[in-house]
Amino acid sequence: MALTIPVDTARAISLEEYLDFVRGRLSVRDLDAVCESAPLLAQLANDRGFLARRLAEELGDWRAFQPDNAFTAQSFLLGAGDDFYLRANIWMPPEELRLPRDRGNHLFSYQIPHDHNFSFLTVGYWGSGYETAIYEYDRSCVSGRAGEPVRLSFLERTTLPRGKVMFYRALTDVHSQEPPEEFSISLNLVLPLAEPEEQLFFDLASSTVTGHGSAPGAGIVALCQLATYLGGTHAVGALEAIAHRHACRRARAAAYGAWSSLAPGSEGEIWRRALDDPAPLIRDEARSRLG
């Protein structure tokens, strides 16, 4: 389950010290070691002025502000290595957003149950933090189709106030966050998967998948869809190769769909090949196409 890690430390370390520790001494693929490093993240959070200093530095060169930040607007990138990111996440109460509630909820992922396609260690840095209901599920039993039933097991309802450290597991822990009562900030040590996967969204009332985030092969998916609209046979060879060999299941699914549409008379053979794909998502689509 998502872990709350008890930490009791008054020591403070700098951002540079923490990044040096993660880069040089922490094996971020060893999730037990990451959890054992929780006191170091708490010690970074004990430096009450580091985030203001870092923000001032960034704003001093505002033309180049956060050029490597691929996260949402609420996230502030603090540092990175080959296999980790450190970020600060901003959490705003609804009355301070000055946005329609649905737009604010989407921006901050409030009341949108979701998993994460990365594991992360997090600590409350500022304010009382958001409230969240946490569930878990078995990703190996889920293909990722919209409307697909999924067994979500409730774990707890909790908050992330200043100083509390938690660990969330990739593709396992699902949570639905409520807006905080006051402006809050959390710090996240983000650990991307070695093999990228897409994030999923859920409906708790019906225990179903409602959709997915950007797939690692989103660009290839768009190109496959474009090939379908443009027609012709020029792309058939490339689509066949993508369908058989691309690492992203969404890309393979899009390639099978485009390939079958561009090869009239061969649709049945193409989708029968798709029955051998390792991804349930593609096998289910193939069975549907074959009737």
> Where residue 20 sits, what CATH number does that domain have?
2.60.120.10
- Domain assignment of residue 31, yes or no: yes
| Final residue in a domain of this structure, among 212, 246, 265 | 212
Same domain, 184 and 116: yes
| Final residue in a domain of this structure, among 212, 228, 253 | 212
pLDDT-based confidence at 68, cuts 50/70/90? low
Instruction: Say how many domains are in the chain.
Output: 2
Same domain, 166 and 238: no
In whole angstroms, what is the distance from residue 2 CA to residue 40 CA? Answer: 19
**CB 220 within 8 Å of CB 254:** yes
Q: Which of 137, 119, 123 is nearest to 29 (CA)?
A: 119
pLDDT of res. 147: 95
27-46 mean pLDDT? 96
Same domain, 77 and 18: yes
Phi-psi category of residue 144: left, alpha or beta, with phi > 0 → left and psi -120 to 50 → alpha: left
In whole angstroms, what is the distance from residue 186 CA to residue 87 CA? Answer: 8
| Domain of residue 247, residue span | 218-284
pLDDT of res. 129: 94
Mean of pLDDT over the chain = 89
pLDDT tens per residue, range 207-246: 999 999 876 777 888 889 889 888 888 899 999 999 999 9
Q: What are phi and psi of 8, to 5 degrees?
A: -135, 95
- What pTM was estimated for this model as a whole? 0.83
pLDDT tens per residue, range 81-104: 989 999 999 898 877 766 555 665
pLDDT tens per residue, range 126-177: 999 999 999 999 999 999 999 999 999 999 999 999 999 999 999 999 999 9
Same domain, 230 and 263: yes
Structure tokens at 137: 């599920």
**Sheet containing strand 184-192, strands side by side:** 3-5, 165-168, 118-126, 184-192, 84-91, 75-81
148 contacts: CB under 8 Å, gap ≥ 6: 142, 208, 209
- Domain assignment of residue 290, yes or no: no
